[in-house]
Amino acid sequence: MPSKEDREKRKQLRSSANEQAKADFENSLPVRSEIFKKLFNFLDVEFGEKGCDHTLVLTEGFLKQLGITDIEAVKQWLKGHSGYFDCELMANVEEKFEGNNFLL
């Protein structure tokens, strides 16, 4: 049976690994995480009105409204995380942010 000290060391290692994974994820983002939070909220509303047309047209329009200049980099990052269409962002990409506690 592991000692209390061994359990504490393992707990610290897990915590450190989780923090590193979170930092790595955040550092991979092409724009600030707050922009993604706003994007997900925007898409949530827009889907209720327009549905998904299997493009990233809503995402592109939103990013343009915010003055994001390198939209192509954002689209490539999204595609690298299974976000090929606006509707996939809600199903595939948003959960990555939730898993890293960026959408609290």
pLDDT score of 3? 83
Owning domain of residue 88: 30-99
**100 or 5, higher pLDDT:** 5
Q: What is the pTM of this model?
A: 0.80
Map tokens 């976000």 to a residue. 83
88 lies in some domain:
yes
Map tokens 């930092």 to a residue. 23
Q: Phi, psi (5° rounding) for residue 88?
A: -70, -25
pLDDT score of 104? 44
The pLDDT tens digits of the residues spanning 32-84 come to: 999 999 999 999 999 888 888 999 999 999 999 999 999 999 999 999 999 99
Which pair of tokens denotes residue 32? 């600030």
pLDDT score of 103? 54
Q: Nearest-CA neighbor of 75 among 97, 60, 90?
A: 60
52 CB contacts (<8 Å, ≥6 apart)? 85, 86, 87
Per-residue pLDDT at 7 exceeds 90: no
Angle, alpha carbons 56-61-67 (nearest 5°): 125
14 lies in some domain:
no
38 lies in some domain:
yes
Number of domains in the chain: 1
